Chain A
């Protein structure tokens, strides 16, 4: 494991959590996976997506999210490292039929090859391959998503095709669900239904989701862990609530001692940035908000304004730090 990789994994630090992941097992396990291409180096990738949890991969366009999915599915081969899904090795040219029956993948782009097929015949074909196929659940999902399955796939609108593919994946009752930008093309109402269905899927047994997304609301509503990708690397894996509640912007001062300067807050826990913001106050960004709050209180420095950073702002900071 490279230095960066170790730093990334260290973010999921506490011992309790490490132990928990070990016992629960990782549904997706990437260890030092590297793929070299002419203009792009993917990896080394280190990631463990624990069973029973939703892990979201977020990152700017071109950071390597979809390439990572192709690696996971064995659609492209890794030049180095090891990849395991549901405990099974991927990408050795081994027969992975059994493994593929236990998982489902919804790619970002819908396949063009099947465009002339009707939804119903596509479903018949898929159901024959998956022993866990649940026809009742499939029909319920189509009703819920308001999809007309007798249409040809190529004639469906982008949103309807998307919902059809998602229904097809969920009805297979997979242990592991891999989703690449699941909500692309969905209207807000359909999106809410999708989030509801994914919650439902997670409640029904030991299921795992690994999803790539750029919809921050999707991350907030669904994810347990967030893996941030940039420049072909995973720069960190974080527990969602911890990440979202520890980054804050404060306005500090003026205190009893008068105006607060940058120097006064130089030792603030988790300080990322401080700038004087007029009226004797200093605007600070911290990655350890709770400690920072206590630190200010102990020193009699009043916090006059405070807000949690949004995920995109946090990502920006973390990516800048990693580069």
Chain B
């Protein structure tokens, strides 16, 4: 099985962290279902072009979080995800991403108003204009 994980070589974010957050998202979002057998350490390391140690660390961390479980000799499987914990996880990573976007904006010297405008434009594009702002069709 090939996991849809993308590695950014020029990011300073450690590889294990990049892989861990993407794999976590695949699990909590339900894209990888319970009891799915994941590739072996060596297989995944090879397909992502990273070292065995990195994959071992990812699997160990996610196992400690309760998202994976390993059975001696038969491999690493997706564990049963508590859906409430899953939602919490997703929300947490979304909040983190928003904070990172704000950081990037501030670092680029954008003012609060400008940032708000950018967020509004993006939200309008994705979700349609805010109900209160909707033009009266009449």
Interchain CB contact under 8 A, B54 and A302: no
Contact of A307 among B10, B51, B56 (CB under 8 A): B10
Q: How far is the CA of A305 from the CA of B120 in the complex (A)?
A: 28
Q: Within 8 Å of chain A (Cβ to Cβ): is B52?
A: yes
Q: How far is the CA of A303 from the CA of B12 in the complex (A)?
A: 12
Q: Within 8 Å of chain A (Cβ to Cβ): is B49?
A: yes
Residues of B within 8 A of A245 (CB): 9, 11-15
Contact of A292 among B12, B43, B46 (CB under 8 A): B12
In A232-253, which residues have CB < 8 Å from any B CB?
Answer: 239-242, 245-246, 248
The segment from B23-31, B77-85, B102-110 that touches chain A is B102-110
Contact of B14 among A52, A241, A303, A306 (CB under 8 A): A241
Q: How far is the CA of A54 from the CA of B107 in the complex (A)?
A: 41
Q: Within 8 Å of chain B (Cβ to Cβ): is A98?
A: no
Interchain CB contact under 8 A, A306 and B42: no
Q: A199-B46, A203-B42 are in contact. List 17 more A-B contacts (CB 8 A).
A: A53-B53, A54-B52, A199-B42, A202-B42, A225-B53, A239-B51, A241-B16, A241-B51, A245-B11, A245-B13, A248-B12, A256-B109, A302-B109, A303-B107, A306-B10, A306-B12, A308-B10
B1-38 Cβ-contact flags toward A at 8 Å (1 or 0): 00000000111111110000000000000000000000
Q: Within 8 Å of chain B (Cβ to Cβ): is A223?
A: yes
Q: How many of chain A's residues touch chain B, expressed as a range?
A: 35 or more
Residues of A within 8 A of B109 (CB): 255-256, 302
Minimum CB–CB distance for A289 against chain B, Å: 3
Write the residues of chain A forming the contact surface with B, with a CB cutoff of 8 angstroms: 17, 20, 52-54, 199, 202-203, 220-221, 223-225, 239-242, 245-246, 248, 255-256, 289-290, 292-293, 296-297, 300-303, 306-308
Q: A199-B46, A241-B54 are in contact. Are A289 and B12 (CB under 8 A)?
A: yes
Q: How many of chain B's residues touch chain A, expressed as a range?
A: 20 to 34
Q: Within 8 Å of chain A (Cβ to Cβ): is B40?
A: yes
Q: A53-B53, A220-B49, A221-B49 are in contact. Are A203 and B14 (CB under 8 A)?
A: no
Give B42's nearest chain A residue, CB to CB: A203
Interchain CB contact under 8 A, A241 and B53: yes
Residues of B within 8 A of A256 (CB): 109
Q: How far is the CA of A85 from the CA of B83 in the complex (A)?
A: 49
Q: How far is the CA of A225 from the CA of B40 in the complex (A)?
A: 19
